[in-house]
């Protein structure tokens, strides 16, 4: 049975998360297909990476919509913002876990079409974090873009911690949300 484009992409994602610099030959081998078959679907590695990045952006956008950040931002309701925040952060773990190889790939970050789309998605989250600040859910001092960058940094930490086996997968949501909400300083009663 011939591998579908979707199956090839899923297997490529798995292999890239283990070996981010894998060649097309290595990716074909990991997918259990010939290089010729891989090249029938993707003319070169850049073409494959572009397709995977679009797939990651699609998942990111679906997460933003399903977590309710757009409606929560528009409403400014603290409870709605808090529910959306938790849903967004937990959902971003899945995106970072699945597409971790792309989080720090500068070639993907500078591709004009991908950059435009990433900027649009990030702006949606920056507006959400600003609304959460206005509602008193987040500290008012830091710029909302800083908060967005902190979340991105935490997602890189999620990727590295999972890849290195430093934390159990089941503990990641609590670690991410706790670190985002409280930092690394001991909380009252923990000293």
Mean pLDDT, consecutive 10-residue segments, the chain of 191 residues? 83 87 92 91 91 90 96 97 96 86 75 89 97 96 96 92 91 94 78 59
Given this model, what pLDDT does residue 41 score?
A: 93
Model confidence, pTM: 0.87
| Token pair listed for 121 | 């998605």
Question: Contact 65/124 with Cβ under 8 angstroms?
Answer: no
Pure H helices in the chain:
5-18, 24-31, 35-41, 45-67, 69-75, 78-98, 106-110, 112-134, 144-164, 172-182
Given this model, what pLDDT does residue 169 score?
A: 92
Neighbours of 124 (CB within 10 A): 17
Question: Contact 48/39 with Cβ under 8 angstroms?
Answer: no
């Amino acid at each position: 049975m011939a591998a579908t484009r979707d199956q090839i992409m899923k297997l490529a994602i798995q292999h890239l998360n283990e070996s981010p610099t894998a060649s097309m030959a290595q990716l074909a081998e990991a997918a259990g297909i010939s290089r010729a078959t891989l090249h029938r679907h993707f003319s070169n590695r850049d073409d494959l990476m572009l397709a995977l990045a679009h797939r990651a952006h699609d998942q990111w956008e679906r997460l933003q919509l399903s977590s309710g950040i757009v409606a929560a931002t528009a409403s400014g309701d603290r409870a709605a913002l808090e529910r959306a925040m938790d849903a967004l952060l937990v959902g971003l773990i899945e995106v970072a876990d699945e597409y971790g190889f792309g989080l720090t790939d500068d070639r993907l970050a500078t591709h004009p079409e991908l950059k435009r789309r990433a900027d649009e998605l990030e702006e949606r989250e920056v507006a959400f974090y600003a609304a959460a600040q206005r509602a008193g859910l987040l500290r008012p001092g830091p710029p909302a873009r800083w908060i967005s960058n902190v979340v991105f940094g935490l997602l890189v930490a999620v990727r590295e911690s999972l890849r290195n086996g430093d934390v159990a997968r089941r503990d990641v949501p609590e670690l991410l949300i706790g670190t985002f909400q409280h930092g690394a300083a001991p909380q009252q009663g923990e000293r």
